[in-house]
Homo-oligomer: A and B are copies of this chain.
Amino acid sequence: MFGIAAVDELVSLLRRLPGIGPRSAQRISFELLVRKRELMPLLAAALLRANGEIRHCQRCNNLADADLCAICRSDRRDHGVLCVVESPADVLAIEATGIYNGDYFVLMGHLSPLDGIGPEALHLERFAERIALADLREVILATNPTVEGEATAHFLGGMMRREGVAVSRIARGVPVGGELEYVDRGTLGRALTGRRALED
């Protein structure tokens, strides 16, 4: 508590952002007020603009500034393939690989019964609509390889079984560039059971 209402309010709001603790919130507030005043109205305007403009793509649920996102609108993507991920950051990560050219569905979370996040908390009615669209041939479940991500993939796989499309899960195994010695048991076990025939 700095003891000035306007400063304390700023600090307490910044603390509610992910990854920002009390020290960081104070440091950011002082830096803004002492050295980066010009940033304050710019940041305020950017927050209001993003809050006003950004919504969810009606087809893939990703963040978008129109009813449909750029990927869902594109005529260069293969709309018959769908990759299901947990977050917009995962879309960026997969796009960065440069080897995927299908559509996405962004769950904006994962099932986590312990935290009270059941199927109804995810946008699964939108997901059901998406997988009901004609021409869908393949669905890749690319939720995180965590307990929650696996549970989510399992649940979504169950929804798909009724649909008659090829459903796969991204491969789990040793990370490229890693050394076996330092890979955890669970990952190494997955790499062994998921072994693939040598390609010619």
A interface, CB within 8 angstroms of B: 2-7, 9-10, 13-14, 16-20, 24, 26-37, 39-51, 53-54, 63-65, 70, 87-89, 92, 108
Q: A49-B6, A49-B9 are in contact. Are A27 and B89 (CB under 8 A)?
A: yes
Copies in the complex: 2
Task: Return A186 CB to nearest CB of chain B, in Å.
Answer: 25
Decide: B51 and A47 in contact? CB cutoff 8 A.
no
- Nearest first, the 8 closest Cβ-Cβ pairs linking A and B are A44-B44, A40-B51, A44-B47, A6-B50, A6-B53, A10-B46, A40-B47, A10-B50
A interface: dominant SS? helix
Instruction: Please give, as numbers and ranges, the residues of chain B lying within 8 Å of A4 by CB-CB distance.
Output: 54, 63-65, 70
Question: Which chain B residue lies CB-closest to A61?
Answer: B34
